[in-house]
Chains A and B, each alone.
Chain A
């Protein structure tokens, strides 16, 4: 029994360490200030902890983790909104730049990333999820499995989201 728990703990830590960048990116997409991002990160980790016994095979861990992270993020946003907190999509350019500047990438890349995050923040929750998964280079089949919609539906929705994102980036003067 005890070794089972320890096994699960090891599996949990391994999964979290392997997927930490993915989880952090999702936190940034759905929560726009540092405190909220930290809260959301812990919430996602907790959902992974709770759901881990349901993960049958490690080869499905990728899509499984995205589902958990996206569900937790959307619930987090909804909870914040229902408590009367400001929409998490409020832009805080300075804060975002501050978060991104710790990264070892060139200035122009940092700029691109900042504008990309700003544009994504203006999409709705489902579009945010679709764009995130698309940018992570997941196939339509994988996206469909995570979202629970058909592949053709993924195609239509993603096409719209991409169009909207480009328009937003153009309006902001970046492309």
Chain B
């Protein structure tokens, strides 16, 4: 293959590429297209998106019963256990809100690499949260539940049973998250890092110059 061949080949490929007349895309009239855009825009609330809403709703749903228990239970140790659980929930909700807010999204027409950097920052944060879930989510729940269970005036076997159940739930939650971290976040993080920072982008080093 001589030097001219690839140039001709690329020229031919460029021609093929530019001459294609792609059809497709949803067949909408101008008015319909504008209506679709307006509808999509209306769905976007500037302050509260769907993820924020459901995340907050879930934490409220889980925390409210424990707040009620705190005020209704007469036992001090049980109350401490519930406080630990509520504290853990607050920490978890704070972490998820912080995750959503801490990486500012670039504008839609930012350079491609800037968007990839943003994606990488988000994925790193998700991966980190998933990796450290044991400390900020599983452990406070586990400790809180065990403290409240052992503070209750119930039979020993019931306490053991409830504790084993709690440990099992915590264990499965932790295991599932490790799985997501390993299978989803780590490969995605590596892929983005490879896109942004490929192997040394320098060409072959120049041969040393002869002296003297």
> Residues of A with Cβ closer than 8 Å to B?
9, 12-13, 16, 20-21, 23-25, 27-28, 34, 37-38, 41-42, 45-47, 49-51, 54-55, 64, 67-68, 70-72, 74-75, 78, 81-82, 84, 99-100, 102-105, 109, 112-113, 116, 124-126, 129, 134-137, 145-149, 153, 156-157, 160, 162, 166, 175
- Pick from B17, B19, B109: contact of A67, CB under 8 Å: B109
Which B residues from 1 to 47 make CB contacts under 8 A with A?
A: 6, 9-10, 12-14, 16-26, 30, 33-34, 36-37, 40-41
Closest to A156 in B: B201
Q: How far is the CB of B78 from chain A (nearest CB, A)?
A: 40
What are 17 A-B residue pairs whose CB atoms fall within 8 Å in the complex?
Answer: A9-B34, A24-B24, A49-B37, A51-B109, A64-B109, A67-B109, A71-B108, A74-B115, A78-B188, A99-B24, A104-B21, A105-B20, A105-B21, A113-B16, A146-B112, A148-B113, A162-B10
- Check if B195 sits within 8 Å of A37, measured CB to CB: no
Knowing A45-B37, A81-B188 are in contact, say whether A147-B113 is a contact too (CB < 8 A): yes
Complex CA gap A82/B109 in Å reads 23
Complex CA gap A145/B112 in Å reads 9
Knowing A24-B22, A46-B37 are in contact, say whether A68-B194 is a contact too (CB < 8 A): no
Across the A-B interface, how many residue pairs have beta carbons closer than 8 Å?
145
Knowing A112-B16, A136-B18 are in contact, say whether A68-B116 is a contact too (CB < 8 A): no
Asked if B207 lies at the interface with its beta carbon under 8 angstroms from chain A, I say: no
Complex CA gap A148/B118 in Å reads 13
- Check if A51 sits within 8 Å of B108, measured CB to CB: yes
Knowing A109-B19, A113-B16 are in contact, say whether A67-B188 is a contact too (CB < 8 A): no
Bits for B89-119, please: 1 = Cβ < 8 Å to A, else 0: 0000000000000000001111111111001
- Check if B23 sits within 8 Å of A50, measured CB to CB: no
Q: How far is the CB of B199 from chain A (nearest CB, A)?
A: 9
Complex CA gap A125/B192 in Å reads 9
- Check if A103 sits within 8 Å of B13, measured CB to CB: no
For B73, the chain A residues whose CB sits under 8 A away are none
Q: How far is the CB of A43 from chain B (nearest CB, A)?
A: 9
- Check if A157 sits within 8 Å of B112, measured CB to CB: no
- Check if B109 sits within 8 Å of A41, measured CB to CB: no
**5 closest A-B pairs (Cβ-Cβ)?**
A148-B111, A148-B113, A24-B22, A135-B17, A51-B108
A46-B40, A51-B107, A113-B16 given. 20 additional CB < 8 A pairs?
Answer: A9-B34, A12-B34, A16-B33, A25-B22, A28-B22, A38-B25, A41-B25, A51-B108, A54-B109, A71-B108, A78-B119, A81-B188, A102-B24, A105-B19, A109-B16, A112-B16, A137-B18, A157-B198, A160-B198, A162-B6
Asked if B75 lies at the interface with its beta carbon under 8 angstroms from chain A, I say: no
Complex CA gap A82/B185 in Å reads 8
Asked if B211 lies at the interface with its beta carbon under 8 angstroms from chain A, I say: no
Chain A CB within 10 Å, residue with most, of B26, B30, B109, B191: B109
For B18, the chain A residues whose CB sits under 8 A away are 135-137
Complex CA gap A166/B12 in Å reads 13
- Check if B195 sits within 8 Å of A126, measured CB to CB: yes
- Pick from A75, A100, A136: contact of B119, CB under 8 Å: A75
Complex CA gap A13/B34 in Å reads 8
- Check if B115 sits within 8 Å of A75, measured CB to CB: yes
Q: How far is the CB of B123 from chain A (nearest CB, A)?
A: 8
Q: How far is the CB of B124 from chain A (nearest CB, A)?
A: 13
